[in-house]
Amino acid sequence: MKLAVCIVALCLLAAATENPAVVITGEISDSQCAFDVHSNGGSHADVIKAGIVGRTPRQCTQACVRMGGKYVLIDTINKKIYRLANFEKAADYGGMKVRVHGSIDRNGVLSISSIEGR
C-alpha cells in the first residue's frame, strides 16, 4: 500500500513539473537582430537598409546565424523573445512568420515540437 502511494505521489509530482504546452505565433529571427547586437529595435530593418547582410529578413537571419547568432522566436503578439532549446528545427524558417507548438521550461527556453510557416 505504501509503495502504491509513493508511486502515485511521484507520478503527480512528475506531472506537476512538466512544461506546459504552448502555441506561439511569431517570426523566426536571429539572436543578433532580436537582441539589438546588429540592429536597433529588435528587427532586421536597420541592417537591411544598410545592405550589410542581405536585402530580406530571411537573408539577414541566415547571415547573422552564419556569423554566430542563434535562431530565436519573436512572439509578435506578446512582444517576447524566446531562446530555442532545439533551434536547428527553426533553420528552414529563418526570417519567416510561423506558428510554433512546443513547451517552455522554467528558464523561458522554448522547445519546439512542431513549426509551420504562415
Could you give all domains of the chain from N- to C-terminal order, each with its CATH number?
Answer: 19-117 (2.40.50)
Helix (H, G, I), strand (E, B) or coil at 16: helix
Q: Is the pTM of this model over 0.85?
A: no
How far apart are alpha carbons 92 and 19 in whole angstroms? 25
- Whether 17 shows a pLDDT value over 60: the answer reads no
Confidence of residue 6 (pLDDT cuts 50, 70, 90): very low
Q: Is 8 exposed, middle or buried (0-12, 13-18, 19+ CB in 10 A)?
A: exposed
